[in-house]
A = this chain, B = another copy of it.
Amino acid sequence: MKIGDVAKRAGVNVQTIRFYERKGLMEAPPRTASGYRQYTGEAVRRIRFIKHAQELGFSLREIHELLSLRVDPHTTCADIQQYALEKVEDIERRIASLTRMKRALSTLAERCGTDRTLGDCPILDALEEQDPKVAG
């Protein structure tokens, strides 16, 4: 299979595949006599693995680790589970941070009245403060 076919089947750009190869996320495939990369269906599955992992919040660096874990004969399913649970905690921290932001911003917006002037805007005022109690 040529790189364009793999790209089409996996729903990514041709450059993206070469980018993944450079980043070590995909093995360098054998080449034809004229230097064209020759892929099998395995390449398509690998790209889908990467894309699914991205959807679950893994960065390319983490996906690289995940792929290394998968190849290492000493890795158990429990190791993968542990890795996933750490990622869950990471996602929880990000959610908590966003939730704080949202609460702070909502609180400020609630204090706005339609008849207020800019000089009396609670949002701008809070942003100006030395140590605003919002976003804590």
Instruction: Give complex CA distance A94, B99 in Å.
Output: 10
A119 to chain B minimum Cβ distance, whole angstroms, is 9
Q: A8 on the interface (CB 8 Å rule)?
A: no
CA distance A122 to B80 in the complex (A): 9
Q: A109's closest neighbor in chain B, by CB? A: B84
Contacts of A81 in B (CB 8 A): 109, 112, 121, 123
Closest residue on chain B to residue A119 by CB atoms: B77
How many residues does chain A have at the interface if contact means C-beta atoms less than 8 Å apart? Answer: 52
User: Is A132 in the interface zone, CB < 8 Å from B?
Assistant: yes
Q: Is A12 an interface position by the 8 A CB rule?
A: no
Q: A56-B104, A102-B92 are in contact. Are A77 and B130 (CB under 8 A)?
A: no
SS of A interface (majority): helix
| Per-residue contact bits, chain A 65-94, to B (CB 8 Å; 1 contact, 0 not) | 010001000011110110011011001101
Q: Does A27 contact B (CB under 8 A)?
A: no
Cβ–Cβ < 8 Å partners of A57 in chain B: 98, 101-102, 105
Partner of A98, one of B45, B94, B105, B126: B94
Indicate if A53 sits at the interface (CB-CB under 8 A): yes
If A56-B101, A76-B116, A77-B118 are given as contacts, then 5 extra A-B residue pairs at C-beta distance below 8 Å, sorted by A number, are A52-B126, A56-B104, A56-B134, A77-B123, A91-B98
